[in-house]
Amino acid sequence: MINIPKKPAPTYLVTLGIPAAILFTIFSFRRIGFNLQDFRENLANRAIVTDPLFNPKWQWAWENTADALLETVQIAILASIVGCAVALPLAFYASRATNLNKYSYFLYKSFLNLVRTIPDLFWAMLFTVAVGIGPFAGVLALIMFSLAIMGKLLSETIDSIDPGPMEAAKATGASHNQSVFTSALPQVLPNYTAYFLYIFELCIRASVILGLVGAGGVGRIIETQRIFLRFDRISPIIVIILVVVILIEQFSVWIRRRII
């Protein structure tokens, strides 16, 4: 007779977790006021949005978005460059492989985690209050945004580097800092460049909506038209943005392929 191995008993994660997740889902849907009946009735009014949305005013969009769109791209370029530059040393301090001091490692790691919990638009709101409405606030917000992502990605990459070269450098009499510079840094530089391009793409996408809270870029034009429900003006702007975003992403993918 064939001995069929018994299926292992489900763990607590499954026996308790799945019912809990289902209950929480039902509870969430009730709390957000989900009601199929209302939804169907509301959907009957969709013409308010869809009619203007599918009758785009191209002429208007061409004449009014170019400047703001350029501003959006500039915000993303500046913020991703500065953010990633600041993140480079921070990532080395936030990695166990290169920071030997347990306490300072923990401090830098927590700082990066804290920055990461605050959403990009919250940063934008705070900076518009602090330094005034305009693209400068947007740049600062996206610096925090890219700094947090780069810090996390790069510090985790540094954690997993090959310790051999660092040991070799130390064996030849290099100090810890020298071994980091000569052996750890070159190992992660290709990843750093790839992450930078990825973050630049994220920044381009994020900078589109910064204007909704007054932090500059093409979002400020969307915001003024949104308030007046001019979806006939918004839809061409969105299409133009999408085309620009896709073009920039293609360019970034092309560079990434050249480097790696």
CB of 31 to another protein, least distance (A): 5
77 vs 181 by CB, closer to another protein:
77
Residue labelled with tokens 């920044």: 203
Q: Which of 118, 228, 226, 97 is nearest to 163 (CA)?
A: 97
246 vs 253 by CB, closer to another protein:
246
Contacts of 122 (CB under 8 A, 6+ apart): none
Q: Which of 204, 219, 196, 202 is nearest to 125 (CA)?
A: 219
CB of 96 to another protein, least distance (A): 17
Q: What is the largest CA-CA distance in the chain?
A: 81
101 vs 247 by CB, closer to another protein:
247
What tokens does 182 get? 């000569």
51 vs 176 by CB, closer to another protein:
51
- Eight-state DSSP code of residue 213: G
CB of 178 to another protein, least distance (A): 18
CB of 36 to another protein, least distance (A): 11
Contact (CB, 8 A) for 71 and 142: no
Q: Which residues contact another protein (rule: CB under 8 A)?
A: 11, 13, 17, 24-25, 27-29, 31-34, 39, 42-43, 45-46, 48-49, 53, 70-71, 73-75, 77-78, 81-82, 113-114, 117-122, 125-127, 129-131, 135-136, 139-140, 205, 208-209, 212-213, 216, 222, 226, 229, 231, 234, 238, 242, 245-246, 255, 258-259
24 vs 58 by CB, closer to another protein:
24
Alpha-carbon distance of 188 to 28, in angstroms, equals: 43
